[in-house]
Amino acid sequence: MIIEQPRVLVPEKALDANLILRLERYARVCYKSEARTGADTAAPFLKKLLERGHESVIEHEKITVLIIADRGISHEIVRHRIGSYSQESTRYCNYSKDSFGNEITVIEPFFFAGREAYNLWEKACRVAEKSYLELLKYSSPQEARSVLPNSLKTELVVTYNLREWRHFFRLRCSSSAHPQMRQIAIPLLLLFRKRLPVLFEDINYDQNFPGKYYARVIITDDFFHEIGREEL
């Protein structure tokens, strides 16, 4: 059994500053104020729109990321209605195959670290893995998956328009969100605030969440091949 940490992969081009310029162009159609577009007009113009609650214009642009987390967290993410998802399937993925190392991969719950609860969690996952591999001798992956744990690692491609990303962060970065959700959502928000401040700098987050537990946010090419780690 492999134990991994959660992480988020973000294509470099998805955070292109030209996105802000395009949004300004779209929004100015409403007022026929295209002639007022200048070198530094986009950010203040969009900020004013957001302050007034006119967020529909930012739905024209989207950002796609790849989230690697446990199945439990993925179930919460896909509750967001306005989005597109492509997720690693436990129906079709057979973790007994060589391509998966003949074992399952789980995401470590940071809140158990250094406690007896960690040993109990790890033991439970190993029992689940053993049962899963045994069941595969008599059944298909879609049937054997019944015993897989919530901690099972999953890969989830998420696409939201920018308005939905704002909604996602408002919910998932608050102190009432699940700890493992905050673990991935807060560092992702911090990246978005750094690269696209006018769209995300007004969104608050749980500042008491320990930064040492933040998931890695990795900058990639368009195909999620790592090209660098974003330092927040």
- DSSP assignments along 169-212, one per residue: HHHHTSTTS-HHHHHHHHHHHHHHHHHSHHHHTT----TTS-GG
Q: Which residue is catalytic, options 145, 166, 172, 195?
A: 172
Q: Is 28 a catalytic residue?
A: no
Query: How are beta strands 105-107 and 2-4 bridged, if at all?
Result: parallel
Residue 92: is it exposed, middle or buried by C-beta count within 10 angstroms (0-12/13-18/19+)? exposed
Distance CA 22, CA 199 (A): 13
CA distance 232 to 190: 7
Would you give the distance in Å from CA 69 to the centre of its chain?
8
Euclidean distance between CA atoms 190 and 173, whole angstroms: 10
Measured distance CA(156)–CA(134) in Å, rounded: 27
Q: Would you please indicate which residues are annotated as catalytic (active-site) residues?
A: 172
